[in-house]
């Protein structure tokens, strides 16, 4: 497949399942180039006159700031819309909202709950729709994760990534991303909190083409064994607050701590999509250690979002 920027022009970014390995590598290469330009102080504004609508039904620090700053740095404009600004799927149908917004803006980024909502938005919008996060998927985060791993490890194929915790949207996106670039991925979750089968199946299908392995286990030690990268996320996500006490008990054996890290490679790197709860899913001596790259990872959200925006809109 031709992997020039134009091959992605106008494409929706709903899930990395829809992207080829070549397209993912292309986005990572563009992100690297844009990061280098910024670090060198070079101005690059290909999106002058373009507007991105940012719909937030779930609040976020990193997603909002990275998209808004990214769009500004590229010469465009970002329009912030929270759940009080729209009647998405309530007073107005999702289809009508999509059609209306497409009259005004060049792309829509949405951070919401049900994945079906973003699929419907994309179906009816005549402009690219970007998934800033749904309950099922988080493709922008996974791309930033890949970029960070590549910067530190200088490769992706053959790297072993261990994810320990809830089989949530972050786990789903990571499995797909890893499989697409030939990176082994082991996911360790408590019984009843495994990733959705459709994502496991999709990841294994992609892995069969790249030579990667995808494993789901209930043993954190098994997952972390000889891992190059260890990743975790909060145990209770937005919308699950009523389950918090139960989750704290169930996930305690899945805490990422120095004892668990003994199973990893000596030069392991630790990642977390943030915000982190020290003393819950990860201990301070891990996330604040020299093995932790969580702030480089957070910073890479900016460069990945810019790569997506440039690829879809320029």
**Feature table: binding site for L-ornithine:** 169, 233, 237-238
Nearest to 270 by CA among 288, 255, 291: 291
Question: How many C-beta neighbours within 10 Å does residue 126 have?
Answer: 10
Burial class (CB in 10 A: 0-12, 13-18, 19+), 265: middle
Question: Of 203, 13, 19, nearest to 119 (Cα)?
Answer: 13
Integer Rg of the chain from CA: 19
**Residue 88 DSSP SS3:** strand
Distance between CA atoms of 176 and 170, rounded to whole angstroms? 10
Q: Which amino acids are annotated as binding site for carbamoyl phosphate, given as ranges?
A: 60-63, 87, 111, 138-141, 273-274, 301
What is 237-264 written as a DSSP string?
-TT-GGGHHHHHHHHGGG-B-HHHHTTS
CB 146 within 8 A of CB 24: yes
Q: Which residues are identified as catalytic?
A: 111, 138, 141, 233, 273, 301
Query: From CA 128, how far away is CA 122, in angstroms rounded?
Result: 7
Give me the residue label for tokens 């800033």.
Answer: 132
What are the binding residues? 60-63, 87, 111, 138-141, 169, 233, 237-238, 273-274, 301
What's the Cα-to-Cα distance from 116 to each of 14, 275, 300, rounded to whole Å? 10, 25, 27
* Dist. CA 147–CA 183, nearest whole Å: 13
């Amino acid at each position: 497949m031709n992997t020039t920027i134009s091959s992605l022009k106008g494409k929706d970014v709903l899930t990395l399942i829809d992207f080829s390995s070549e397209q993912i590598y292309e986005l990572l290469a563009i992100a690297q180039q844009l990061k280098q330009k910024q670090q060198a102080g070079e101005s690059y504004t290909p999106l002058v006159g373009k507007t991105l609508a940012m719909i937030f039904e779930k609040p976020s620090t990193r997603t909002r700031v990275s998209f808004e700053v990214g769009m500004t740095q590229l010469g465009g404009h970002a329009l912030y819309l929270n759940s009080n600004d729209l009647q998405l799927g309530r007073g107005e149908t999702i289809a009508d909202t999509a059609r209306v917004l497409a009259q005004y803006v060049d792309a829509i980024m949405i951070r919401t709950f049900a994945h079906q909502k973003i699929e419907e938005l994309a179906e009816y919008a005549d402009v690219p729709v970007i998934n800033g996060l749904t309950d099922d998927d988080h493709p922008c985060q996974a791309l930033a994760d890949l970029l960070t791993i590549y910067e530190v490890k200088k490769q992706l194929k053959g790297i072993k990534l261990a994810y320990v915790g809830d089989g949530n949207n972050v786990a789903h996106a990571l499995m797909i991303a890893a499989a697409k670039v030939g990176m082994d991925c082991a996911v360790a979750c408590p019984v009843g909190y495994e990733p959705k089968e459709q994502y496991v199946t999709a990841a294994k299908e992609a892995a069969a083409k790249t030579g990667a392995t995808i494993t789901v286990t209930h043993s954190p030690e098994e997952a972390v064994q000889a891992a190059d990268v260890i990743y975790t996320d909060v145990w209770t996500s937005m919308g699950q607050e009523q389950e918090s006490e139960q989750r704290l008990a169930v996930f305690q054996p899945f805490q990422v701590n120095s004892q668990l890290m003994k199973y990893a490679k000596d030069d392991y790197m630790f990642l977390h999509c943030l915000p982190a709860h020290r003393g819950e899913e990860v201990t301070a001596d891990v996330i604040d250690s020299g093995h932790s790259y969580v702030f480089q990872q957070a910073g890479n959200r900016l460069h990945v979002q810019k790569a997506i925006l440039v690829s879809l809109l320029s």
